[in-house]
Amino acid sequence: MSWGKSGLIVAFALCLAVLGGCSRVDSSKRLRIITWSDYVPADVAADFEKETGIHVELTLSNNEEIISKLHATGGAGFDLAQPSQDRITGVQREFGLYKPIDLSKVNLQQFRPEILAITQKIATLDGKLYALPYLWGSEGLVANTQDTTISDYTDLCRPDLKGKTSMRLRRPTLMAFAFALGKDPFALYDDPKAYEALMEEVGRKLSECKAIVRFFFDNRDQLLNGMRSGEVTAAMMWDTGGWTLNRENPAIRYIVPKSGALGWLDTFALPYKGRNDAGAYKWINFTMRPAIAARITRKVGNWTAARGTEDLVDQRMRAQFNESFPNGAFSGINWYPAIPPGLEAMEGRILDRVKAAN
């Protein structure tokens, strides 16, 4: 049988059409998520696939890698990303990596209104919302109350605690000490000179504090083991770490500092060139169901943005949360706003000087 030139062209076009159709079908059955470790429990992903026929493919990452990978591809390669709330609008303004959230496709009644409002305030750019809340937590203080009493971050530098405290040399510590010194670093984000002056002041305080600190921790296990052994009696730590230690030793407690804990939110965001927005919205609505969200909380240890999960999680965890935040979950938290370009490089220089200080 002879096709001829025109016949071959038609056949090739049909082939492309068929392949394109297959590609679209495949895309609708795959949900490619770039996220943090443990954020997508295997059993939750399996139940989602049973219900929707969509297979979840994970790439584990962090804020820096999420931005790097999406920037390298112009927002392609993933259908859903989970950056923190302070890494969205600045990145969007500079690189355009995300597409706006279509709220008509989201069951907003499933979200805690307080958490949703915080995210809307931080992740809105030019009137468009670029993220929804997923998991949240705080960073404050942990202390063995049999050995010491502390109330704010600068207590970690008290002479009577020499050799018994710990913290990280990272930007959260700069923010924490700024608040403890009576200043609001977030209010100075739009004034680079004033912000740098404040960070210089904090850097001097941390350099003076080096003689008191037992060690600047590099990872969670190092700090937890230091608290367990009694090598460290007070530290700057995440709420979940403090609650873990409290379950092992009731004398160790997570403390919301007088100047406020630092609040973070990891989100749902849609990469600009994602191929399965419909699947992403299905996943968002699925994971915010109270029963599913409670399973995620039990797995990860952090609370999700879903409402109605309080009676479905471990009741000891709920009691610890209520003890740490007796006046409500949000009254004692300073939430990270979007980071303007250039601030982190300047902060890095200050942290380097603290490391080098005698």
**Rounded-to-integer distance, Cα 256 and Cα 237, Å:** 10
What pLDDT does 23 receive?
A: 45
Residue 168's CB is within 10 A of a number of other CB atoms, namely: 18
What pLDDT does 8 receive?
A: 43
The number of distinct structural domains making up the chain is 2
In a domain, 3, yes or no: no
Query: Which SS3 state, helix, strand or coil, does residue 280 take?
Result: helix
In sequence order, which residues have a C-beta less than 8 Å from that of residue 157 and are 6 or more positions away? Answer: 165, 205, 208, 209, 212, 213
Q: What is the DSSP string of 61-91?
A: --HHHHHHHHHHHTS-S-SEE--BGGGSHHH
Parent domain of 91: 16-133+265-302
What pLDDT does 328 receive?
A: 64
In a domain, 285, yes or no: yes
Looking at the fold, whether 101 and 123 belong to one and the same domain comes out as yes
Confidence check: pLDDT of 4 > 70: no
In sequence order, which residues have a C-beta less than 8 Å from that of residue 224 and are 6 or more positions away? Answer: 241, 244, 245
* The residue to which tokens 């609001």 are assigned: 184
Confidence check: pLDDT of 202 > 90: yes
Which pLDDT band holds residue 314 (cuts at 50, 70, 90)? confident
In a domain, 49, yes or no: yes
Looking at the fold, whether 259 and 270 belong to one and the same domain comes out as no
**Rounded-to-integer distance, Cα 56 and Cα 44, Å:** 10
Share of the chain above pLDDT 70, in %: 92
Confidence check: pLDDT of 22 > 50: no
Query: Which SS3 state, helix, strand or coil, does residue 337 take?
Result: coil
In a domain, 326, yes or no: no
Indicate the helix (H) or strand (E) that contains 95: helix 89-95
Report, as an integer, the average pLDDT of 123-128.
Answer: 97
Confirm if 222 and 295 have CB atoms less than 8 A apart. no
Looking at the fold, whether 20 and 109 belong to one and the same domain comes out as yes
Residue 77 has which token pair?
Answer: 């390669």
Report, as an integer, the average pLDDT of 107-129.
Answer: 96
Looking at the fold, whether 350 and 235 belong to one and the same domain comes out as yes
Q: Mean pLDDT score of the chain, rounded to an integer? A: 92
Report, as an integer, the average pLDDT of 327-341.
Answer: 85
In a domain, 59, yes or no: yes
What pLDDT does 327 receive?
A: 67
CATH of the domain at 58: 3.40.190.10
In a domain, 9, yes or no: no
Looking at the fold, whether 271 and 259 belong to one and the same domain comes out as no
Please tell me which residue, 10 or 215, carries the higher pLDDT value: 215
Which pLDDT band holds residue 321 (cuts at 50, 70, 90)? confident
Report, as an integer, the average pLDDT of 202-229.
Answer: 96
Q: Is the dihedral of CA 41, 262, 96, 120 positive or negative?
A: positive
In a domain, 319, yes or no: no
Give the tens place of pLDDT for each residue, 280-302. 999 999 999 999 999 999 999 99
Give the tens place of pLDDT for each residue, 148-187. 999 999 999 999 999 999 999 999 999 999 999 999 999 9
**Rounded-to-integer distance, Cα 335 and Cα 85, Å:** 9
**Rounded-to-integer distance, Cα 144 and Cα 224, Å:** 12
Q: What is the dihedral of CA 91, 196, 194, 263, to 10 degrees?
A: 50
Report, as an integer, the average pLDDT of 217-235.
Answer: 96
Looking at the fold, whether 70 and 204 belong to one and the same domain comes out as no
Looking at the fold, whether 142 and 271 belong to one and the same domain comes out as no
Ramachandran angles phi, psi of 186, nearest 5°: -65, -30
What pLDDT does 75 receive?
A: 96
Looking at the fold, whether 121 and 82 belong to one and the same domain comes out as yes
Which pLDDT band holds residue 330 (cuts at 50, 70, 90)? confident
Confirm if 306 and 300 have CB atoms less than 8 A apart. no
Residue 352 has which token pair?
Answer: 């380097």
* The residue to which tokens 């990891």 are assigned: 266
Share of the chain above pLDDT 90, in %: 85
What pLDDT does 17 receive?
A: 44
Report, as an integer, the average pLDDT of 7-23.
Answer: 45
Looking at the fold, whether 36 and 110 belong to one and the same domain comes out as yes
What pLDDT does 329 receive?
A: 64
What pLDDT does 187 receive?
A: 97
Looking at the fold, whether 206 and 287 belong to one and the same domain comes out as no
